[in-house]
Amino acid sequence: MTDDDSQRQPPAALSKGPRIISIQSQVVHGSVGHNAALFPMQALGVAVAAVPTTLLSNHPRYPTLRGRVLDAALVADLLVGVAERGLIETTSILLTGYLGSAEIGAVVGDFVDRAKARNPQLVYLCDPVIGDDGPGVFVAPGLVDLIRDRLVPAAAILTPNQFELEILAGAPARDLSSLKRAAALISTRGPGRIVVTGCALADTPPDRIETIVYDRGVVHRIAAPRLPIRPNGAGDLFAGLLAAHLANGKALFEASQSAVRGVSAVLARTLAEGAYELRILAKDILP
């Protein structure tokens, strides 16, 4: 072995501690996708393998948008590299978010299947980014079906917003009983644990917004202040915080409470500073 060969050898072991594989969008400017989730996960002490599905200048609410959704073959190649580095076996949480295209969704579905086979302890947390009240469905053609029929059944935990829950269940979820029925219907397809964000139910006070945790039939409600602000990326931030708290050993309800507190603090700071993009500071998200 030459000196050059020895320098190419990988380290004997990966760094210790919790690890997440995160597959979602990447932008140059703004706080969506990995820009919203990566730093919070790292700030909470988690090593993250961040696989992009897009490379865009910003999110689409700006007047112009540059860059593109990545080629599915490139995303597939990056995921091969993730496997080659032994990251699957050392990861506790696999998180997926905005996928960009149905072709990327299919690649991610194949990776999820392989990763779960190689590491049966791996927890797949699917954030089914589809749309929201107001804008409606905003993903590429074919992605709703792929998420519903391929990714949701493979997931252990699902984090839809209220609109996405209704899309996936094909049923309304505007009061607690109908939300429980929708979650129960989805859970028969795979994920027994569903955390529904951004909920305004029939009995939710007008100054509150709720996160509903459905854990194998048991329901918990977490209320937070409703603020006059709705920036992009809050769902991505929540999913990243939830994944990190789970990777650090918290149970689902406790992890959800911590994620809600973190998102609420970030939203309050964003509002106080009059910022358009989320203002994510470590001191607001750390326990």
Task: Convert the pLDDT of each residue in 221-276 to its tens digit.
Answer: 999 999 999 999 999 999 999 999 999 999 999 999 999 999 999 999 999 999 99
Query: What DSSP state is assigned to residue 13?
Result: S
* Residue whose C-alpha is closest to residue 108's, from 93, 92, 95, 123: 95
Going from N- to C-terminal start, the domains of the chain cover: 17-158+240-285
Pairing of strands 123-126, 93-96: parallel
Q: What is the pLDDT of residues 148-179, one digit of tens each?
A: 999 999 999 999 999 999 999 999 999 999 99
Per-residue model confidence as pLDDT tens digits over 30-50: 999 999 999 999 999 999 999
Instruction: Tell me the C-alpha distance between 53 and 127, whole Å.
Output: 14
Which residue carries 């080659």 as its tokens? 84
Residue with tokens 């190689």: 118
CA-CA distance, 224 to 227, in Å (whole number)? Answer: 9
Q: Is 59 helix (H, G, I), strand (E, B) or coil?
A: coil
Question: How many angstroms separate the first and last alpha carbons of the chain?
Answer: 48
Phi, psi of 227 (to 5 degrees): -105, 150
**Residue entry with tokens 């939203």:** 267
Give the Å distances, CA to CA, from 253 to 38, 101, 157: 22, 32, 12
- For residue 70, the model assigns a pLDDT of 98
Task: Compute CA distances 173 → 182, 225, 257, whole Å.
Answer: 6, 21, 21
Residue 191 has pLDDT above 60, yes or no: yes
In sequence order, which residues have a C-beta less than 8 Å from that of residue 124 and are 6 or more positions away? 94, 96, 112, 115, 116, 154, 155, 156, 157
Helix H or strand E segment including 164: helix 162-169
DSSP 3-state of 113:
helix
Beta strands in 155-217 (DSSP E): 157-158, 193-199, 208-215
With a cut of 90, say whether residue 14 has pLDDT above it. no
What pLDDT is stored for residue 15 in this prediction? 62
* Residue 251, Cβ density class (10 Å: 0-12 exposed, 13-18 middle, ≥19 buried): exposed
pLDDT score for 261: 98
- pLDDT higher than 50, residue 9: no
* CA dihedral for 28, 86, 89, 42, sign (positive or negative): negative
Query: What single letter denotes the amino acid at residue 62?
Result: Y
- For domain 17-158+240-285, is the CATH number 3.40.50.1370? no
